[in-house]
Amino acid sequence: MNKITLRSPATTANVGPGYDIFAMALKEPYDEITLFLNDSEKIEICVSGDCCYIPTNTEDNTAGLAVLELFKRKKIQQGVKIEINKKMPSCGGLGTTGASAAAAIYGLNKLLNLNLSSNELIDISRMGEVASGGSPHADNVAASIMGGFVLVKSYHPIDVLKLDIPEFPIVLAAIKKSQRTTRGFITYEIGQEKLKEQMAHCASVIHALHTKDILEFGKAINVDHIAEPVRGASIPEYYEIKKKVLDAGAFGCTISGGGSSVIAFCSKENQEKIAQMFEKGFASNPHYIKTIRSFTSNQGVHEI
């Protein structure tokens, strides 16, 4: 086999209090990635679809950088062409960069019969994220590879736990970032009280997933003292709209991954109402792209 086409899901990282350690896969949107092996010993990248600002130089592209890492670690000399068909908006917070890296490594693992474990796939794929935000965070690529809800239990070495989850309805306002990354402004110096609350909310997220309690889950993701203060401040309408959708019955609302996208979890009956509130609320934001109605999903990257 020298060709494989894969579908790689969007992911929402952090899931409230779990900065860099929690993420969930979404049913839609997704990207499609095709890999072709060849004898050139070169890595070639082509991007089509919603491809504004996506570099095709190997070192600057998340999939390209991840493949370089794979070839270096496993001492592989191989030519590969990577066709990335972007079917999701290229904006912050959908894990789109991680989806490409995850698909490239997952696909090469199959094509080259490498038999890598999920943790190895994640550890190599996350290196691609350096091309996007400058940091090899594992949450997005882990959810793209494994699907469901992922908990990064350890970074040294990478050890990720997947929890299967119910299909939660979600509404996501896709909003472009006004700056490349806000990670540098995030601090862990949040004080004892907030730290205790943050840990308690992380524990509540996991408990709510085990008990399939969407109300508890929503309450738990509403609090984040680490990333939300920085990223919330860069989305002018964020806190006002969060309050409005929670008042209207959404279970939880938080910033999706690195922002500026915003995600809400709600009942199926409320999904359209919450979506319309996002559409109206974010309409005047010049970086707003569109509102996506979708579900969480247990399916990670897969061959199509």
**84: its two tokens:** 């990335």
Cβ nearer to ligand HSE, comparing 5 with 178: 178
Contact 21, 139 (CB under 8 A): yes
**148: its two tokens:** 């469901």
Cβ nearer to ligand HSE, comparing 19 with 288: 19
**30: its two tokens:** 């997704």
Smallest distance, ligand HSE to C-beta of residue 113, A: 31
| 14 lies in the site for ligand HSE, by CB under 6 A | yes
Enter the DSSP assignment of 296. B
Smallest distance, ligand HSE to C-beta of residue 272, A: 27
| 20 lies in the site for ligand HSE, by CB under 6 A | yes
* Residue (of 303, 301, 304) closest to 147 by Cα position: 301
Q: Which residue type occupies 177?
A: K
| 140 lies in the site for ligand HSE, by CB under 6 A | yes
| 228 lies in the site for ligand HSE, by CB under 6 A | no
What CA–CA distance (Å, rounded) separates 184 from 119?
26
Applying CB under 6 A, the span of 69-77, 132-140, 217-225, 240-248 interacting with ligand HSE comes to 132-140
* Residue (of 256, 258, 260) closest to 296 by Cα position: 256
Q: Which residue type occupies 24?
A: M
Q: Tell me how many residues contact ligand HSE (CB under 6 A).
A: 13
| 271 lies in the site for ligand HSE, by CB under 6 A | no
For the segment 62-101, give every residue that binds ligand HSE (CB under 6 A).
95
**130: its two tokens:** 């350096």
- Provide the binding-site residues for ligand HSE, judged by CB under 6 A: 13-14, 19-20, 95, 133, 137, 139-140, 183, 227, 257-258
